[in-house]
A = this chain, B = another copy of it.
Amino acid sequence: VTAKSIEDLPTPAVVVDLDVLERNIRSMAERALESGVRLRPHAKTHKVLEVGRKQLAAGAPGLTLAKTGEAEIFAAAGFTDLFLAYPIVGEEKARRLLALSDRCDIAVGVDSIDGALSLDRAFRAASRRLGVLLEIDCGLQRTGVLPSEALSVAARIGELPGLRLCGVFTHAGQAYLAENAQAAAAVARTEGDAAVQVAERLREAGHAIGEVSVGSTPTAREGMRVAGVTECRPGTYVYNDASQVSIGSCSPEDCALTIIATVVSVPARDRAVLDAGSKTLSSDPLWPKPGGHGFLVGRVSRIARLNEEHGVIAVAPGESFRVGERVAVLPNHACIVSNLHDQIHAARQGRIEEVWTVAARGAVT
């Protein structure tokens, strides 16, 4: 791409505003420092090495990822401290983790004996120990053991010579249903308290629980303040998105990532169509309540429906669009947009400074 300005980019294109990005990184890092917790940003949001490096430069000791394939890409690029906040399972993954542990500090999530056993075999055979954090379900009802089951599962994991149970972690994704920032903060306190209490009980039973890791973007700033929390893992804060605005965890001015699209059809007064559909914006809904497929910056009209290459705008009364016009879209969910695109255009005041490869895009295994 030879475009020097956002105005010259072929559309659709993903643009990140560097001033906003750097402010977001700095602001969360400062909050972590004030709160006395380590910030371990979830790099799933960007999957970009350059952004990860900015997060480390701002004070993060390492990054969070979900999948082994993502860790392989970041480790190959020189990142040396990674946590996979995900229940990694199976001997194929265990062998890859073993290879990764040669080049970086890597720890992973675990939430079952069967999963733990499948990791233990590979590390035990190599006379090594893999650091694992026990996932605690603090109300999301996704993965993780209930607080009431943590002690019995930890006891079994503690017996495995290939593993080292070094912490607990939670993810309060239910905060995405919060109606406002106050409600999200309440979720954060409940999450933090639950994680700290479980950690205390595990310590009383003799486990060396060093890490009490919590976090998501809506809960991060409050969760960091809970006494006993040692680490926080927000991801989306780096870019923010329409859902974060709707939940109340940021303002529109805090959103760094937009999609530049072109109006390709205006077939009726109340309808205009963008060259950005679900292949560009994804079909992910707006949180906490459905409300179209992204915000049109500076417009009241909403993107009412999507097909793969079509974003159909329901034109609001008093607004109009013309064929060829360019618009900026604030997507519902920034993380999934990153996963759809090979390149991100990093711009400052409209000028493109860098083009980043989304290095860990599609690394799902």
Residues of A within 8 A of B (CB): 10-13, 44, 66-67, 86-90, 92-93, 111-112, 114-115, 118, 137, 141-146, 173, 262-268, 271, 273, 275-276, 278-280, 282-285, 307-310, 312, 322-324, 335-336, 339-342, 362, 364-365
Residues in B whose Cβ lies below 8 Å from that of A309: 44, 66-67, 86, 364
User: Other than the known A44-B309, A143-B267, what 13 A-B pairs have Cβ atoms closer than 8 Å?
Assistant: A10-B93, A44-B308, A87-B264, A112-B265, A115-B324, A143-B264, A144-B265, A145-B267, A173-B307, A275-B364, A278-B282, A339-B340, A340-B362
Contact A143 B278, CB 8 Å, known A308-B44, A308-B335, A364-B309? no
Residue of B nearest to A10 (CB): B365
**A/B interface sample: 28 pairs, CB < 8 A:** A10-B93, A66-B308, A66-B309, A67-B275, A87-B264, A88-B264, A89-B262, A89-B275, A111-B267, A112-B267, A114-B322, A114-B324, A115-B265, A118-B324, A142-B273, A143-B310, A145-B267, A146-B267, A278-B282, A278-B336, A279-B364, A282-B283, A283-B283, A283-B285, A308-B336, A309-B364, A339-B340, A342-B362
Contact of A92 among B10, B308, B342 (CB under 8 A): B10
Query: How far, in whole Å, are A266 and B144 apart by their CA atoms in the complex?
Result: 9
Residues in B whose Cβ lies below 8 Å from that of A13: 365
Q: Are B283 and A364 in contact (CB under 8 A)?
A: no
Q: Are A112 and B310 in contact (CB under 8 A)?
A: no
Contact of A112 among B67, B86, B114, B266 (CB under 8 A): B266
CB distance from A94 to the nearest CB of B (A): 11
Closest 8 A/B residue pairs (Cβ): A114-B323, A283-B283, A143-B265, A10-B365, A89-B264, A66-B309, A87-B264, A112-B323
Q: Are B12 and A365 in contact (CB under 8 A)?
A: yes
Residues in B whose Cβ lies below 8 Å from that of A323: 89, 112, 114-115
Q: Are B284 and A283 in contact (CB under 8 A)?
A: yes
Query: How far, in whole Å, are A118 and B283 apart by their CA atoms in the complex?
Result: 30
CB distance from A112 to the nearest CB of B (A): 5
Residues in B whose Cβ lies below 8 Å from that of A279: 336, 339, 362, 364
Contact of A262 among B90, B265, B312, B362 (CB under 8 A): B90
CB distance from A191 to the nearest CB of B (A): 16
Query: How far, in whole Å, are A206 and B76 apart by their CA atoms in the complex?
Result: 64
Residues in B whose Cβ lies below 8 Å from that of A264: 86-89, 115, 143
CB distance from A331 to the nearest CB of B (A): 12
